[in-house]
Amino acid sequence: MVRVAVIGVGFWGKNHARVYSEVEDAELVAVCDIDVERAKLIAKRYGCRAYTDFREMLRAEKPEAVSICTPTTTHYEVASEVLSMGVHALTEKPLCSTVKEAERLRDLASSMGVKLMPGHIERFNPAVDRVKRLVVDGVLGKVILVAARRVSRWPERVGDVGVVKDSAIHDVDVMRHLVGEVECVYAETGSLRHRFEDYVEAILHFKTGVTGFIEANWLTPRKVRRLTITGSEAMATLDYLTQELSIEDSEKVLRPIARWEEPLKRELVHFVRAVMGKEPLRLTAEDGVKALKVCEAILESGRRGEKVYLEG
């Protein structure tokens, strides 16, 4: 059993606590939140101890691994102390507020010999696994275009980054996973109702020759989470929410039947097994750094109104 804890049990962190309480190889020993009543409520619900100071929790409970679900601007400070104590960490996306902070965390985890995994949950969506197999097996032919639409109203949780690093980053990571590294981006961003940018349209050119398109906003009444991959032989469309997948060519449309699985549970089961040494990490700190680099390039392109190339 891996002793685990959750730092930050608000809108999303409470789900980490719930899932850890269900994972066979994990023992949820504590939760921590600056809101004492919230921490006590979640701790009582899942039969663990509550803290308001994560440092005290780490010293008292000695967890082997933690989920960090605090606001983005706190990720670097919290994760630095967690990693420095030799504790493995899953840090919710984005890994940090900036690429520089994320790189420092990556290097710290490496020097301490602990695992640092960014919480890019769509990588654990089973529909993404199925699409990856289609791409690798050549079922779609040569991939030409990958297009994502991720739109909804303003999220319920407190936000300290805009729609690019909060929402579009999911599709940046999935596209990297499917078709490789990004060479350059062109984007338009803006803010109609919010402190940070609340809409983005971005074109990504990949080193493999594939073109990507991402539309993300917090302005659309109905939530849409969709990805379409167009190849020379067929097109695949997946719905991240329902996990439904359709494969269409010139003769037919196939809609394979598959069981719905909770991506967060798949993610945390994998993280615990990686901590146990039973699996290599599917997502590393370097993946978190690279996704942030693309997001920062998108934001820079939006500010400058021109194409931005990524280094390396």
Domain ranges of the chain: 2-120+266-283, 122-261+292-309
pTM, two decimals, is 0.96
**What pLDDT, on a 0 to 100 scale, did the predictor assign at position 160?**
84
Q: Tell me the per-residue pLDDT of 198-221, one tens digit each, with 9 for 90 and over.
A: 999 999 999 999 999 999 999 999
Per residue in 120-153, pLDDT tens?
999 999 999 999 999 999 999 999 999 999 999 8
CATH topology of domain 122-261+292-309: Dihydrodipicolinate Reductase; domain 2 (3.30.360)
125: how many CB neighbours lie within 10 A of its CB?
A: 24
219-248 pLDDT per residue, tens: 999 999 999 999 999 999 999 999 999 999
Please give the average per-residue pLDDT across 285-292, as a whole number.
98
Quick check: helix, strand or coil at residue 186?
strand
Q: Using one digit for the tens of pLDDT, what is the confidence trace for 40-59?
A: 999 999 999 999 999 999 99
β-bridge pairing 88-92 and 211-217: unpaired
End-to-end Cα distance, the chain: 41
The reported pLDDT for the residue numbered 308 is: 98
Give the mean pLDDT of 63-78.
Answer: 97
Instruction: Measure the CA–CA gap between 288 and 181, rounded to whole angstroms.
Output: 13
**Residue 15 Cα distances to 9, 10, 282, angstroms:** 8, 9, 21
Domain 2-120+266-283: which CATH number of 3.30.465.10, 3.40.50.720, 3.30.930.10, 3.40.50.280: 3.40.50.720
Average pLDDT, the chain: 96
Alpha helix segments (H runs only) across 66-161: 75-84, 99-112, 126-136
* pLDDT for res 154: 77
* Residue 193 confidence (pLDDT): 85
Residue 157: its pLDDT value, please? Answer: 58
Q: Is the pLDDT of residue 75 over 70?
A: yes
CA distances from 299 to 45, 188, 255 (A): 40, 8, 36
Q: Taking residues 2-15, what's their average pLDDT?
A: 96
pLDDT tens digits for range 268-282: 999 999 999 999 999
